[in-house]
Amino acid sequence: MKSLFRAFLTLLVVALTAPLTVAQTHTHDGVTSCGLNHAEDMLFLRRPETRDAAMDATRALELETQEGATASQREDLLIIPIVFHVIHFNGPENISTAQVHDAVDVLNTNFRALNANIGEVIPEFEDLVADIEIEFRLAQKDPQGNCHPGINRIVSELTYVGDSEMKSLIQWPRNKYLNVWVCEYAAGAAGYALYPGSVNGNQNADQDGIVLQHSYCGSIGTANLYRSRTLTHEVGHWLNLRHPWGNSNNPGLADNCDEDDNVSDTPNTIGWTSCVLDGTTCGSLDNVQNYMDYSYCGRMFTQGQKTRMRTAALSTVAQRNQLSTASNLQATGVAGEDILCEASFDMDRRLICVGDSVKFTDQSYHSPTSWSWEFGDGEALSGGQGEGVQSFYHTFNAPGLYDVTLTVGNGTDEVTNTVTEAVYVMDAGEMDLPLSQGFESGEYPDPQWFIEDPLNDGTWELTDDAAATGTQCMFIENWGNNVEFNDDFLRTATMDMSGMSEIHISYKWAYVHKGTTEASETDDRLRVSVTGDCGNDWDLRRMHRGFTDLPSADPNPFPWAPSGPEEWKGYTIVLDNDEYLTEFFRVQFEFESRLGNNIYLDDINIQGFGNTEVAEALDGLTRSWTLAPNPAAQASVVAFQTRVAGMADMTIQDASGRILSQEAKALGAGSHDWPIAAPQTPGVYLVRLATADGVQRTWRWVIQ
């Protein structure tokens, strides 16, 4: 074991030189294991005037730690409020609420030495295993005292950077909450924090907290059990723990035997990036299972680390001592029983077709124990935990616009929330054919056209500044956009193309590059996609690219609008695929910004074609043909009539158009019932019947 005096002298030397150290990169799964040293280097490079004050605070906290008085001031359980800021760009980094809760559970399990694998600590260190007696609770009130889930979600491209600028997007007072930012790219690390001394005082307070890559946050969702101890490791740094080999990001160096972490019961080590439990790198057995090593088999903190962390948690350095006060626990809502204050839920989609399902996921807070749902269609669902009422699918079997109500309770209180017009269920063939949309006054806005703006930052809108014909068209103000790969969607409702033999989709657009030279070219994209199953699967049928055929006029460095018909282009898509010849056909126009100029869209015309004879037969026969039940669980029956005797063909396809079965029958003239067995896998399928009359019909078949 190491002497207290030697540990103290070592710290003073390291504290004076640490900010000048350039962190070496050590990776695991392609990610730097911990970015603390690099983060501190960058902090003092940006703010060199704060270096001396940080060093003074570090010395003061070290002296406080070695004296040991602060850690014994309170022997009770320390509770620290924690808030998560999920910085995302609508990708997988927008982790679920469940994953955040899991991350807090893993953190507390590790800090209280309650992890299931604690028994795997090797005998030589089992007597040193420490319950830190610090618990982290997700905030239940925001800084203004309002009820809050303890999770903020911010849309920003800075999720791909994960640096100090990202922190500036949102930070709650560091003397009331431990701030954790979750992002896609944590500045090249799995995670990073800053020592209390480095953020002491007001100048660096805005950098206080922990940054985590989303795949290292918790043990579920985008993360896994193997990576789940990263937050534990970073909170250790936040509470003034070093790596076992000293104050660097350089494990594995022989010189590390001369370095120290200023904890008396953690043996000197060169540091590990693998789990070698009998390692003796500096003349004694290494504590490879320590959470602060890079071995990725962390199981424990030591008693000495407990003293060090509790000293930091009760020190005035970086205002850590204010977090666990009774008044702050009350102010942040974590002092007593959970506060049931909000009934809330997510839906995976709000626009569907008859027979489709919506996934509802409860997001209520805090800690409800009962749930009661009303879906506006006469159906209801209620129950308790583990009874399938917190996350489930509900099927809507009739068209309409539905309000959804959720009531949650905890045995004492209840709260209710109704989302009006929560789900719009489209019927088959809602739009009349042929469809002609020129976006003129009286034609648009049209409730059967739908706009989706995922980033809520400006999207398709009407303008009278230009038009291919008439006086109005749709456009996106792309010239001032600074978010690359931003997608915006314009979609139709359903059109009945069953019985048609061909579909024509024509449209016009106008676009130019933003600039004056070839060097200013951008690869913005206008995509046209179609679906025959209401939108469960969209198939790209045409893409116009900025590098090829999207530009319709010369580049322009200013916000641009076409000046006449000569600055517009047009195109017609022709489809004859069976999977699109259904009563749930839809069209989607998608613009993906690559930071070019404005985009304009006009004169959309959609029409189904078939010969007159077929159309008459369709009116007389197939309009009365039925597929029932639909949705179905085991089987359905196609009921139909034929005018002449001959062969009839029944084809079943999946939503992608892959043929699952084909059957032919010789039938006489008259009425017929044709039973069909449901596929084993629930989903959406296409059923097509063709008869000797020369007519056919395709149904969208929902299997539950």
* Per-residue model confidence as pLDDT tens digits over 178-208: 999 999 999 889 999 999 999 998 999 999 9
Q: At what angle do helices 4-17 and 51-67 cross, to 10 degrees?
A: 170
Give residue 33's identity as a one-letter amino acid code.
Answer: S
CA 447 and chain centroid, separation:
29
Q: In this structure, what DSSP letter does residue 25 have?
A: P
**650 in Cβ contact with 688 (< 8 Å):** yes
Q: How far apart are CA 230 and CA 243, in angstroms?
A: 13
* 67 catalytic residue (yes or no): no
Residue whose C-alpha is closest to residue 138's, from 77, 195, 85, 213: 85
| Other Cβ atoms within 10 Å of 49 Cβ, number | 8
* CATH T-level topology, domain 612-703: Immunoglobulin-like (2.60.40)
**pLDDT for 294:** 93
Residues of the chain within CATH 2.60.120.200 domain(s) are 435-609
Q: How far apart are CA 207 and CA 195, in angstroms?
A: 11
Identify the helix (H) or strand (E) that includes residue 235.
helix 230-238
Q: Which CATH number fits domain 345-425: 1.10.3720.10, 3.40.50.300, 2.60.40.10, 1.10.569.10?
A: 2.60.40.10
Q: What is the 3-state secondary structure (H, E, C) of 399-418?
A: CEEEEEEEEEECCCCEEEEE
**235 in Cβ contact with 34 (< 8 Å):** no
**200 in Cβ contact with 229 (< 8 Å):** no
Q: In this structure, what DSSP letter does residue 427 have?
A: P
CATH architecture of residue range(s) 435-609: Sandwich (2.60)
Instruction: Give start and end residues of each alpha helix (H) in 320-462.
Output: 326-331
Burial of 118 (C-beta count, 10 Å sphere; 0-12/13-18/19+): middle
**208 in Cβ contact with 318 (< 8 Å):** yes
**Strands laid side by side in the 370-374 sheet:** 351-353, 414-426, 400-409, 370-374, 380-384
Q: How far apart are CA 126 and CA 148, in angstroms?
A: 40
Instruction: Give start and end residues of each alpha helix (H) in 121-229.
Output: 164-167
Catalytic residue among 184, 234, 430, 590, which? 234
Q: How far apart are CA 235 and CA 111, in angstroms?
A: 10
**89 in Cβ contact with 155 (< 8 Å):** yes
Give residue 695's identity as a one-letter amino acid code.
Answer: V
Where on the phi/psi map is residue 160: left (φ > 0), alpha (ψ -120 to 50), or beta? alpha
Q: How far apart are CA 637 and CA 174, in angstroms?
A: 65
Tell me yes or no: is domain 29-123+132-243+307-331 CATH 3.30.360.10: no
In which residue are the tokens 């919506």 written? 358
| Other Cβ atoms within 10 Å of 383 Cβ, number | 14
What value, to the nearest 5°, has the Cα angle with vertex 413 and ends 410 and 414? 90
**244 in Cβ contact with 236 (< 8 Å):** no
Residues of the chain within CATH 2.60.40.10 domain(s) are 345-425
CA 419 and chain centroid, separation:
22
**pLDDT for 612:** 46
* Per-residue model confidence as pLDDT tens digits over 555-573: 989 999 999 999 999 999 9
Residue whose C-alpha is closest to residue 18's, from 163, 198, 190, 186: 198
Non-local (6+) Cβ contacts of 677 within 8 A are 634, 635
**pLDDT for 1:** 34
Identify the helix (H) or strand (E) that includes residue 616.
helix 612-620
**pLDDT for 68:** 80
**435 in Cβ contact with 607 (< 8 Å):** yes
**370 in Cβ contact with 382 (< 8 Å):** yes
Q: How many residues does the chain have?
A: 704
Q: Could you say which residues of the chain have pLDDT below 50?
A: 1-32, 611-614
Do strands 31-32 and 27-28 pair parallel, antiparallel, or not at all (unpaired)?
Answer: antiparallel
Q: What is the 3-state secondary structure (H, E, C) of 490-519?
A: EEECCECCCCCCEEEEEEEEEECCCCCCHH
Q: How far apart are CA 349 and CA 563, in angstroms?
A: 39
